[in-house]
Structure 1
């Protein structure tokens, strides 16, 4: 009888077809056997009595700002935070590092840092910016998970928004490379013009900020990108979509057979514009938190499976850029820090709206793996794939405090929120990296993942 490294017994495994009470045996970082009553000997037994075993989350949208801005968030603290939230793979966005990940040299340097510091596995986005079309092929061949571009002003001089011609040229090349282009879709013309109008009038409140980034700005950018994708054949992934009207445009394109996926983020589902009014800078993001009526529409769209996946868009910064005492809200950094809480957020919504746990697993694990070429080893609980697992209890709640939030900077919209569930363990390729409220791994065990057809670099 084969000796196993780990056996998880008595758990409720969230399998693609539903929740099943079973045991899970792990060998050499892979799930070796799934069945009730595993009798093999093992080095370590985890008794998951009363606990749910989810596939580890794959968060396709985080901002760890290393190199260059590690004081914002780096691989070390960022990956600890992901592990604490049951996330076993994240995709780091290309824009906030110095240099940004817009060429092969920058990609390899970022991968080197991640390989030495990350407690969970990761993939890396490449950037599409004006003037780097010639770098896209080398980035694709070197293993980027996809490309990211902005249709609105980034606020980051190292990573500029694309103009229409750069976008079309980039889309043509990305389609040829068989990659996906992720888009921050807000109209730069609309949002910049409205912001200038407010500034002329000396208006800078929460309501003013919301009015400068209206739903129509998201819809216009989404629609324009879809037209360009029709011309170029470029696969698209729309990030952090915040409005029902934008989803309507995306649904129409999908029904035409276009190669498009879409995500939203937990903060658009759990929070709304009232939180920006109440909390100020901590709740500022782009697109902004919407009014409560729009929040309800997004939840309905989620329940109707109009979103393909969920991501955190974890976008941290130092305290001074989120100073709650700042008078002018436009001057504060626009991002939500909260990568630790995506899986917990979706379980909270599942419990509230009677959403099956296997649907949560699809949004947080299997759909990202399938979309981005990792489904040969990630994204589900099945024999032969990586033993990436999040162990969840519904018998304890999780009250978010600065002490149990692992991000480098503790200011977060989620501080003070109580989740009706708790992460009690996280496995990355069979390694226990988080257990009972604290980091369990002594050294980083994560590595750079490349899509199917590429070699994993360690």
Structure 2
């Protein structure tokens, strides 16, 4: 419909660089009722209720969609909650998060537990929130009920999760879950470490980071991913490998994709930003599982992103209290494993991309378009007519030194503390409205 035949739009945003169809160009983005209704030439005559002209140093991109966030509410809200997590997300240019089924109590493994999640999130969410379900031994045979209740897929661990209320699946149970989920064409997302290989590895040695990495060897990831590939091959189902840290698994992943198996893979900002050689002994703020590995491994992950072997990047924001994160005074065996990076994830990846001359449009593709595609949210992750007007004004050349104490997530701990990052999120619009950190304007999302 021509603009002249439409009601007066709510908003027009003009920028010399708008990301449209994978490339930046000058444009005027016209918004009405929360949706992009036109993408016009920069100087097009558009009368709207409000007009924003971005300064030349800012670009307009779609809101980031973070498909891997641990909010932890209800039950462990002292670790994180919907108010603090969604506020941090918005400050980082994230307009949609999908919440993991743990470490909340109860975990999201039943429709009733999903209802509790929704009740907790609804009065607090600053941005949009969707939910993953959990595949644990006791929920097998009942996953369709949770699927029908609206979760975007099912998270499973193949090794102990770290919390008693979310036990891992055996290899046989993995195949059982994959077959059950394939029957209704759902999605299984997998923490892939093989517990037998972990048991065979040497124990962590106190504050030694290199000993901690040896305790979570590449072989554990590779073995578990091979189990997932086998389950996908046997069932025809769809699986997604979470937080890939080991480049040793890339050949198996490439082979699976070449065979046409329905497998996707993510990595995380911390694996792309930090390396084993620069993590100090006792630096438990860097502890995560699987672990951050060496610099050569990191470069192979970047290469796999560029060539499409790895499909997307998500934060795996997994916070805890400072007491838990630094438990044991630097002992990697005692400290909680998880990186708090929700507010920084987009800028961290952009910083690494700049060092490798990877363009901003690729980073947005990995963290917005691809993540939205993973969960089937076709209405976002791009700037196009008919898409949601979830938009971010971003200054790609600005630089900031991170202070964990100034971040919006609940506990002031982050591996990125002191890092120098590129980029600044200047403005964020949710459905065409400026995000207000004091208003619970976010919507609760359901699959489909």
Q: Which category of TM-score, normalised to the shorter sequence, fits these structures?
A: over 0.9
Pick one of 68, 81, 100 that aligns with 1:74.
81
Query: CA 1:250–1:39 in structure 2 vs 1: closer, same or farther (change >3 Å)?
Result: same
Cα distance in 2 for partners of 1:362, 1:327 equals 37
In the TM superposition, 1:383-394 aligns within 5 A as 383-394=385-396
For 1:44-95, what per-residue CA distance to the aligned partner results, in whole angstroms no more than 9, with x for missing partners? 3222122111111111101000010111001100000100000111111101
Assess if the C-alpha contact under 8 Å between 1:16 and 1:362 holds in 2. Answer: no
Asked whether 1:107 is paired with 2:104, we answer no
Question: 1:318-357 alignment to 2 at 5 Å?
Answer: 318-323=321-326, 326-357=329-360
Aligned pair 1:428/2:443, yes or no? no
Preserved contact between residue 24 and residue 35 of structure 1 (Cα < 8 Å): yes
Of 414-423 and 203-212, deviating more is 203-212
Residue 382 of structure 1 is matched in structure 2 by 384
Which of the residues 273, 290, 293 maps onto 1:287? 290
Aligned partners of 2:207 and 2:282 also within 8 Å: no
- CA offset at residue 371 of structure 1? 2.5
Deviations 1:18-39 (A, max 9, x none): 1111111111111111112243
Q: 1:446 aligns with which of 436, 439, 442?
A: 442
Of residues 198, 214, 217, the one that matches 2:220 is: 217
The residue aligned with 1:437 is: none
| Structure 1 CA distance for aligned equivalents of residues 353 and 44 of structure 2 | 30
Q: Using the TM superposition, give the Cα deviation of residue 403 of structure 1 relative to its aligned residue in structure 2, in angstroms.
A: 4.5
CA contact (8 A) 2:405 2:413 kept: no
CA gap of 1:327–1:359, structure 2 versus 1, over 3 A, is closer
Determine the structure 2 residue equivalent to 1:234. 237
Deviation, 1:8, is 1.0
**Equivalent position of 1:35 in the other structure:** 40
Secondary structure of the residue aligned to 1:398 is strand
Superposition map of 1:158-169 within 5 A: 158-169=165-176
Matched residue, 1:138: 145
3-state secondary structure, aligned to 2:199 = helix
Matches within 5 A, 1:148-297: 148-194=155-201, 197-198=202-203, 205-278=208-281, 280-297=283-300
Gaps of 5+ in 1: 434-439, 453-458
In structure 2, C-alpha distance between the alignment counterparts of 1:299 and 1:168, rounded to whole Å: 31
Q: What is the deviation of 1:123? A: 1.1
Q: 1:155-191, CA deviations, whole angstroms, 9 ceiling, x for partnerless residues?
A: 1001011112221211111001211100000111111
Give 1:441 deviation, angstroms.
4.0
Structure 1 position 47 matched with structure 2 position 53: yes
Deviation at 1:193, TM superposition (A): 3.8
2:415 maps to 413
Q: Give the distance between the partners of 1:431 and 1:275, measured in 2 at CA.
A: 42
Q: What is the rounded CA distance, in whole Å, between the counterparts of 2:328 and 2:148 in structure 1?
A: 46
Structure-1 residue corresponding to 2:123: 116
Q: Which moved more, 1:380-389 or 1:268-277?
A: 268-277
**Corresponding position of 2:25:** 20
What's the C-alpha RMSD, in Å, of the aligned pairs?
A: 1.7
Cα distance in 2 for partners of 1:332, 1:324 equals 5
User: How far does residue 284 in structure 1 lie from its aligned partner after superposition?
Assistant: 0.5
1:121 Cα deviation from its structure 2 partner: 0.6
Aligned residues, how many? 441
Per mean C-alpha deviation after superposition, the further-off stretch among 276-285 and 129-138 is: 276-285
**1:126–1:147 Cα contact (<8 Å) kept:** yes
Q: Distance in 1 between matches of 2:22 and 2:321?
A: 43
How many Å apart are 1:428 and its aligned residue?
A: 1.2
Secondary structure at the aligned position of 2:386 is classed as coil
Who is 1:9 aligned against? 14
- Maintained 8 Å contact 2:253/2:309: no
- State the distance in 1 between where 2:33 and 2:249 align: 44
Per-residue deviation, residues 236-268 of structure 1 (Å, max 9, x unmatched): 100110122212111100100000110000110
How far residue 325 of structure 1 moved from its aligned partner, in angstroms, is 6.1
CA 1:341–1:203: 2 relative to 1, 3 Å: closer
Q: 1:225, CA displacement in angstroms?
A: 1.2
The more displaced of 34-43 and 3-12 is: 34-43
